[in-house]
Structure 1
Amino acid sequence: MAQVDTIRSVGVGARAQIDEGLRAHMNKVYGLMSVAMLVTAGVAWAVGSSDQLFSILRNPATGSMTILGWIAMFLPLIMVFAFGALVNRMSAAAAQLFFYAFAAAMGLSLAWIFQVFTGVSIAQTFLITAISFAGLSLYGYTTKRDLSGMGTFLMMGLIGLIVAMIVNLFLASSALAFAISVIGVLIFAGLTAFDTQRIKNDYIQHAVAMDQEWLGKSAIMGALTLYLDFINLFMFLLQFLGNRE
Structure 2
Amino acid sequence: MIDRSTQRSVGYGQATAADIDAGLRKYMLGVYNYMSIALLITGLAAFGVSQSPELLQLVYGTPLKWVVMLAPLGMVFFLSARIHALAASTAQLLFWVFSVLMGVSISYIFIAYTGESIVRVFFITAASFAGLSLVGYTTKKNLSAFGSFLTIGLIGIVIASIVNIFLASSGLSFVISILGVLIFAGLTAYDTQRIKLMYMESDHSEVAQKKSIMGALSLYLNFLNMFLFLLQLFGNRE
TM-score interval (norm. to shorter): over 0.9
Given candidates 216, 220, 232, the residue that maps to 1:223 is 216
Q: Deviations over 1:148-202 (max 9, x none)?
A: 1211100111111111111111211111111100100000000000000000011
Q: How many residues align?
A: 235
Given candidates 73, 98, 104, the residue that maps to 2:100 is 104
Which segments of 5 or more consecutive residues in structure 2 lack a partner in the other structure? none
TM-score under structure 1 length normalisation = 0.91
**C-alpha distance in 2, partners of 1:3/1:19?**
14
Structure with the bigger RCO (C-alpha within 8 Å, sep 6+) is 2
What is the root-mean-square deviation in Å for CA atoms of aligned residues?
A: 1.7
**C-alpha distance in 2, partners of 1:70/1:152?**
30
**What is aligned with 2:159?**
163
Which segments of 5 or more consecutive residues in structure 1 lack a partner in the other structure? 59-64
Does residue 3 (structure 1) correspond to residue 3 (structure 2)? The answer is: yes
**C-alpha distance in 1, partners of 2:197/2:211?**
12
Given candidates 72, 77, 81, the residue that maps to 1:81 is 77
Q: Which amino acid aligns with 1:145?
A: K
User: What's the offset of the Cα at 1:211?
Assistant: 3.1
**What is aligned with 2:45?**
43
Instruction: Note if contact 1:49-1:115 (Cα within 8 Å) is conserved in structure 2.
Output: no
Q: Deviations over 1:21-61 (max 9, x none)?
A: 00000000000111000000000000013223212113xxx
**What is aligned with 2:180?**
184
Q: Deviations over 1:212-237 (max 9, x none)?
A: 14223110110011000001100100
**What is aligned with 2:22?**
20
**What is aligned with 1:62?**
none
User: What's the offset of the Cα at 1:92?
Assistant: 0.9
User: What's the offset of the Cα at 1:108?
Assistant: 0.5
**What is aligned with 1:61?**
none
**Runs of at least 4 residues off by over 3 Å:** 7-13
Distance 1:98 1:10, change over 3 A: closer
Equivalent runs, 1:92-241 vs 2, <5 Å: 92-203=88-199, 206-207=200-201, 210-212=202-204, 213-241=206-234
Q: Which amino acid aligns with 1:173?
A: S
Q: Deviations over 1:72-102 (max 9, x none)?
A: 1111011111112221121111111110010
TM-score under structure 2 length normalisation = 0.93
Q: Is the deviation greater in 213-222 or in 17-26?
A: 213-222
SS at match of 1:244: coil
**C-alpha distance in 1, partners of 2:180/2:210?**
29
Instruction: Note if contact 1:7-1:15 (Cα within 8 Å) is conserved in structure 2.
Output: no
